[in-house]
Amino acid sequence: MLGFLLARAGVPVVVLEKHKDFLRDFRGDTVHPSTLEMMHELGLLDEFLKLPHSTVRNVALQIGNDHVVVGHFEHLPVQCKFIALMPQWDFLNFIADHARRSSCFDLRMQAEAVDLILDGGIVAGVHAKTPDGELNIRAALTVACDGRHSTLRERAGLQVDDLGAPMDVMWFRISRQGTDPADVIGHIEAGRMLVMLNRNDYWQCAYVIPKGSAGDVEAAGLERFRDSIAEMAPFLRGRLGEIDSWDKVKLLTVAVDRLQQWYRPGLLCIGDAAHAMSPIGGVGINLAVQDAVAAANILAEPLQHGAATVENLRAVQQRRMFPTRVTQRLQIILQNNVIGPALMGKGERPKAPLLLKIMQWPLLRRLPGRLLALGVRPEHIQSPAASPRRDRQ
């Protein structure tokens, strides 16, 4: 997204992707109203919504016997009052296709950044590995957006604060039938939790377990796993034979962390490379997109003139640190007060915390939906579009 916005502003950009395509299952597929609003501001929303997707208009949680709605979106002052569930590869291919319309955009697939090029302590580009050999790319600014296991942030020696997460997630899919409920379903019981995302013809399911316990779940056997799912979502019982091997279940080791400093001269980290988010709320890709928009707003002009100063890079961190902190804080409150105790519970049915119950009152119920959908300090596209001469069409 940052590559697209900078190229659109006339800044020459090389984007490296280590894989040969963007096809990865079970990734950030929850495109929130904040990201849809970016598409609208870029004039791309109608085309974007032609890509296959399903929509979520309400998010509800079943905690033991308590049913609480945590996401009402109908009042939001935005174009799309829903979350679009869209495979991340469709989203990324869409952005890449639009970015390629600018002659400033150069996407290299199967190019893995393995180290930084340093000029007297200043980051001056990256060394990359490709099937055709090594590549050295020198750049006025290197942006590490290489995810939560970022090679570049590690090579840069930036300090990471691990904020802790009590859970891991096992992802799998189950076919969906016309008579099934339509909304996102979150079900919390003693010792386990199930979140189901409606993907039209299938359910994308997250089975949340205490951290480090995936081996125990597997050792208890597939039959026990399927029974446990059926106890939380009885309407799935006849279909659970679809999970006939552990190969159909992918483990996400949840991490919540944050860099103390997101930059050093010549280098900036954004997205998961700067702050890995908990899957709570499905905010990961949306925060990464917001980082990209903020970075483009602040950096496009200095980069049009050839360089970004350390003050420019600091300004990006200052802009994005507050939303990151608040979002991670809220995730940790939910982890510590709802998810952790429920996962550790042995038999007694969990109850919705008082705060979530209070949030059901008509005057307050808009707040969680707004936070979920738009986040804190939503960004707007302010980076310029270059003159048509620099664009291919």
- Smallest separation, CB 110 to ligand FAD (Å): 9
Residue closer to ligand FAD, measured from CB, 113 or 256? 113
Q: What are phi and psi of 151, to 5 degrees?
A: -70, -40
Q: Which is nearer to ligand FAD, 277 or 303 (CB)?
A: 277
* Closer by beta carbon to ligand FAD, 192 or else 386: 192
Please report the sign of the dihedral spanned by the C-alpha atoms of residue 42, residue 43, residue 44, residue 46: positive
Compare residues 146 and 379 and give the one whose CB is closer to ligand FAD: 146
Q: How far is the CB of 357 from ligand FAD (least distance, A)?
A: 26
Q: Which is nearer to ligand FAD, 37 or 146 (CB)?
A: 146
CB under 8 Å, gap of 24 or more: what pairs does 271-277 form? 271/145, 271/147, 272/147, 272/148, 272/150, 273/144, 273/145, 273/146, 273/147, 273/148, 273/150, 273/152, 273/153, 274/144, 274/153, 274/317, 274/320, 274/324, 275/324, 275/328, 276/148, 277/327, 277/328, 277/331
Shortest Cβ 56–ligand FAD spacing (Å): 11
| Residues in touch with ligand FAD (CB under 6 A) | 16-19, 26-30, 112-113, 145-147, 151, 171, 252, 271-273, 277, 279, 282-286, 288
83-85 β-sheet, strand order: 30-31, 83-85, 54-56
What token pair was written down for 178? 């016309």
The distance of closest approach from Cβ of residue 144 to ligand FAD in the complex, given in angstroms and rounded to an integer, is 9
Asked if 85 contacts 31 with a C-beta cutoff of 8 angstroms, the reply is yes
Beta carbon of residue 250, minimum distance to ligand FAD (angstroms, whole number): 6
The distance of closest approach from Cβ of residue 170 to ligand FAD in the complex, given in angstroms and rounded to an integer, is 10
> Please, which residue, 289 or 386, has the CB nearer to ligand FAD?
289
Positive or negative, the Cα torsion across 292, 297, 300, 303?
Answer: negative
